[in-house]
Amino acid sequence: MPTRRHFLRSSTALITLPALESIGFKAFAAPKGAAPPKRMIFLGFGWGVTNETWFPDVKKTGAAWELPEGLKPLARHQKDITVVQGCSNKFANEAHWGSTFWLTGANRYAEPGQSFHNSISADQVAAAHLGKDTRFGSIQLNTPDAQNSGHGPGLSLAWDVRGKPLSGLENPVAAFHRLFSNDTTPLTERQAMLAQKRSVLDAVLEDAKRVQNGLTKTDLDKLDEYFQSIRDIEVRLGKDEQWLSVPKAKPLVAEPKPGLAGKEEIKVMYDLIVAALQTDSTRVLTYRQPVGTLLQSIDIKVAPHDMSHYSPGDRMAASQKRDATQSELLAGLIDKLKATKEADGTNLFDHVAIAYGSNIRSIHFLDNCPTLITGGAAKLKLGQHLVLPKDTPLCNVWLTMLHGLGIPAERHGDSTGVVKELQV
């Protein structure tokens, strides 16, 4: 006779919600010689870019485009990157929120009577499909400088199926230990702690069920959301149980020094991203990057908010130096991905899809979001400059990437279809 929990697991597996599809994963990586898995990375920054020197000339599109000054450090990878212009999140209306709706395309006023609403982010849609066989369905990297970096509400770039923020690891040391440090608590004690969590979850669920009768529709909706959170916890506990006795992968990088910030923080986080993918600890990562500490680390005295309101002079020069530094760091990440070999002799770059950008263009403009795509996993047309019709939903790009990874999403956020110009 199946237990109540088994019934919950079997029933949630039938619900076509991305956050619930991680049930039933295998606790091992693909065998040697098998086709390498597909991966996805989103790298987001706040405060936008320098409009005059980051975007390519709109008159030079396709493969005959020229790198603008802000992207010049990526010159050695020009054939492997595509810059997309014309995209925006049509519901975005907060000039200081560089990443809150970047991957969701949500309408913050979609829920009557509420001043804030969000929906699932593209990375979590990917994680429901790509994260089944890995210890971590997804990894969220963050920075303690998020508020000063123009990101807006959220704990990372990621939002779950209920539109709730997913917490991120705020420094390289925390990320390293999450990925590679094994729990020294004896196995029997960890099993007992999980059993206790299950017991508490059972009791909470039974209590919640008792109060269903006689509730108003508003309260029933709130309770349904509560039940969804319980199901999410069940999924996480189930995954924890299956990996309980499996040691974490051995680290391929040294433990980072504490206190890294700005440029060095980003560089080491990029190293950890490569290591996480190389060890197949996860196949989906997001990184909400610092801007404020980045400026300090490259000796820029202008405040990040002031920089975003640039005009010719010190502020614009600061913005341009920021762009060049970020591009330099991204080029370094691509170098490492190309240098990392897979079991079949290909390189890691060929099996990852990367999106790099922001919800803000410049000086707080929310149209024409800076968008750069790279990596070979999604089989997109790289090495080109696309200028799409004004206000094309940015979620069309995310939907196109998801489809390229074999994820059959019908739509995402405010998407209206795929970007055919990106498809091979």
State the pLDDT at residue 113: 84
Q: Yes or no: say if 347 and 339 are a contact pair by the CB < 8 Å rule.
A: yes
| Alpha helices, H only, 24-76 | 51-54
187 and 295 both lie in a single domain? no
| pTM for the full predicted model | 0.84
Of the candidates 246, 268, 285, which is a domain's last residue?
246
220 and 126 both lie in a single domain? no
State the pLDDT at residue 218: 67
Rounded to an integer, what distance in angstroms lies between the CA atom of residue 300 and that of residue 73?
A: 19
State the pLDDT at residue 238: 67
172 and 267 both lie in a single domain? yes
117 and 242 both lie in a single domain? no
- pLDDT confidence bin for 276, thresholds 50/70/90: very high
| Alpha helices, H only, 279-393 | 292-297, 304-308, 314-339
Asked whether residue 165 is assigned to any structural domain, the reply reads: yes
Both structure tokens of 72: 């010049």
Asked whether residue 11 is assigned to any structural domain, the reply reads: no
Asked whether residue 251 is assigned to any structural domain, the reply reads: no
Bridge partners of 284? Answer: 40
Distances in Å between the alpha carbon of 138 and those of 9, 33, 40, 129, 314?
20, 24, 10, 11, 40
Of the candidates 227, 246, 265, which is a domain's last residue?
246
CA angle in degrees (0–180, nearest 5) for 395-349-378: 35
189 and 325 both lie in a single domain? no
Backbone angles phi, psi at 24, to 5 degrees: 90, 15
391 and 347 both lie in a single domain? yes
Please give the tally of structural domains in the chain: 2
Bridge partners of 393? Answer: 88
144 and 162 both lie in a single domain? yes
Rounded to an integer, what distance in angstroms lies between the CA atom of residue 253 and that of residue 268?
A: 9
Q: What is the CA radius of gyration of the chain?
A: 22
Domain containing residue 361: CATH number: 3.40.720
DSSP state at residue 254: P
Q: What confidence tens digit (pLDDT) does each residue in 9-35 have?
A: 333 332 233 333 333 333 334 455 578
Asked whether residue 6 is assigned to any structural domain, the reply reads: no
Residue of 4, 44, 9 lying closest to 25 (CA atoms): 9
Rounded to an integer, what distance in angstroms lies between the CA atom of residue 359 and that of residue 184?
A: 41
Asked whether residue 302 is assigned to any structural domain, the reply reads: yes
- Alpha carbon of residue 402 to chain centroid: 13
Q: What confidence tens digit (pLDDT) does each residue in 97-131 have?
A: 999 999 999 999 998 888 999 999 999 999 999 99
Of the candidates 217, 246, 275, which is a domain's last residue?
246
- The domain in which residue 37 lies consists of 18-180+257-422
Q: Which residue has the tokens 């089989």?
A: 379
How crowded is residue 6: how many other Cβ atoms within 10 Å of its Cβ? 10
330 and 216 both lie in a single domain? no
152 and 193 both lie in a single domain? no
Both structure tokens of 257: 């020094």
149 and 234 both lie in a single domain? no
Asked whether residue 169 is assigned to any structural domain, the reply reads: yes
Asked whether residue 7 is assigned to any structural domain, the reply reads: no
Residues 6+ apart with CB under 8 A from 112: none
